[in-house]
Structure 1
Amino acid sequence: MRFIPLLLLLFLAACSSNKDKPTKTDEPTFTVIFLDKTRSVNINKAFVARKYQQAINEIIEQNIHQKGDRLEVYFIHENTAKARALNLTVRSEMEDVSAASPTDREAAETEFTLLLNREKAQMRQRVLQELAEQNTGSSNQATDIWASLPVLAKANESGATVKAYYLSDMVESVKGSNRRDFQVKPPKDNAQAEDWAKTDAKSLKRYEIGSPDITMILPFEPNASVKQNNPTVTQYWQTLFNELGVASVEEQ
């Protein structure tokens, strides 16, 4: 009998704690897709087109679930930060069915699913159209991936869960003494890649990108040579993103 009051106190504390907590709702997802529109990525190549089309389908299926979910598409080229191609937000909303009968609840869920699937299909179509868009202008000569960081910083200000996808070879190629041109001079090994990334991160931390999930979807076939798919380049980005506070970095 000695421990019954203690159990009672624990029960009351738990009730009080649960009462004070707000009801948890899913945060909206802010998805940013960066499409490489430079000469080094050939979207007309069958393998690349197939891989990137499948990736876009999966990104939309995984991240678009509710009203407020947002999708932006940017082109990677010489002027990445100013190259927003799409800005879409889910409008479909699931009505409150907390007091509804099972039949009415099922009808509401079915209607919401139909509306959401329609929006997802429209999103998919528009992103695939942007994927197929050719960039024949002079901006295709440079690959400014650093310029994606202010885009992520802006997305971070929304308060949503940010997920970023780079459909790119990740070969940064910008002229200038304080920039990286991996087409001319890639890191010679992983140690140099990490050293460069940590050095660059010191100045790039001015962009407060938060802790997004980042996925790099590379346009290389499994049998690509080191010259094509240089592992030191992706090691650079893995290290740089980690230094900037990214929650997770995945390579596909």
Structure 2
Amino acid sequence: MLCFLCVSLCLTLFSCSTEQKPSTSDPTYTLIFIDKTRSVNVNRAFVMRKYQQAINDIIEQNIRQKGDRLDVYFIHENTSKARALNMTVRAEMEDVSAASPTDREAAETEFDLLLTREKAQIRQRVLQQLVAQNDGASNQRTDIWASLPVIEKASETGLSVKVYYLSDMIESVPGANRRDFQKTPPRDNTQADEWAKADAQNLKRYTIGSPEITMLLPFAPNASVRENNPAVTQYWQTLFAELGVGNVMEE
């Protein structure tokens, strides 16, 4: 009987201590790179649907608390200087550790309302950037390498960094020690791995940490290999892995 009471008391104390622990999750820094070059047409119905849904999902998953950040950059000839949007969540949950159940519920309701409003504003502004046109000369080149210093700067904040490329990932920059997949794509996965490992030696000057990276390609499931060259995505998988990224997804 005594043992039973001891066990019951321990379980009760453990339950109370866990219930009182506030959330300690760190804010998230979301980077969305939207391709604004001639090779990606967001006006195509499939692409628009896919990218709109992706943006909705990204905001729903990553915008959760005060301090969450979201930046949008355009991918084109001057990607690292092409920040189109920068937003930080201001909605804050009150400290309800000593509040009554009624006051706690009221505080949570108020926070949910404020956060929902901010999500709607962020969603609207990101979708505006999605459909923005780039008719300038910068749409002739696709410099995805230039996203690396942007990721590096985000990683320096100490926040959890999540990166999304809404792009065909066709790097296209002429010149020595660059890649132009428009003219010369990797012929197979073996060559893609070789190029990525060679390029990584130069690009390791960027310390990008361990962000989660997702490549959202603008290709229908029945796209031909010529349109959606798997060796190109293999190149990026290997390059990011060489730079220390542990989680790279393709959708």
User: TM-score under structure 1 normalisation?
Assistant: 0.91
Instruction: Give matches, 1:1-16, under 5 Å.
Output: none
3-state DSSP of counterpart to 1:169: coil
Give the Cα–Cα distance (whole angstroms) in 2 for the partners of residues 147 and 122 of structure 1: 28
Counterpart of 2:63?
A: 64
Instruction: Kindly provide the CA deviation profile for residues 21-52 of structure 1, in whole angstroms up to 9, marking residues without a partner as x.
Output: x9871111000000000000001100000100
Tell me whether 1:113 sits opposite 2:112 in the alignment.
yes
Map of 2:248 onto structure 1: 249
Cα distance in 1 between the residues matched to 2:117 and 2:239: 38
Which structure 1 residue ranges, 5 or more long, are not aligned? 1-21
State the AA in 1 paired with 2:99: A
State the identity as a percent.
75
* Correspondences of 1:1-252 after superposition (within 5 Å): 25-252=24-251
Report how many aligned residue pairs link the two structures. 234
Distance 2:229 2:203 in 1: 23
Contact 2:169 2:232 in 1 (8 A): yes
Structure 2: stretches of 5+ with no match in the other structure: 1-20
Query: Quick one: which amino acid aligns to residue 78 of structure 1?
Result: E
Q: RMSD value over aligned CA atoms?
A: 1.6
Counterpart Cα distance in 1 of 2:63 and 2:162: 11
| Partner SS, residue 31 of structure 1 | strand
How far residue 177 of structure 1 moved from its aligned partner, in angstroms, is 1.6
CA distance in 1, matches of 2:82, 2:232: 24
Please tell me the residue identity of whatever aligns with 1:101.
S
SS of equivalent to 1:65: coil
Q: Which amino acid aligns with 2:68?
A: D
Q: Which runs of 4+ in 1 moved over 6 A?
A: none
Change (3 A) 1:159 1:147: same
Distance 1:82 1:230 in 2: 28
Aligned residue for 2:240, secondary structure, equals helix
Task: Give the residue type in structure 1 aligned to 2:65.
Answer: Q
> 2:22–2:97: 8 Å Cα contact kept in structure 1?
no
Quick one: distance in 1 between partners of 2:205 and 2:247? 20
AA matched with 1:59: I
Rounded Cα–Cα distance in structure 1 between residues aligned with 2:238 and 2:166 = 18
Residue type of the alignment partner of 1:97: V
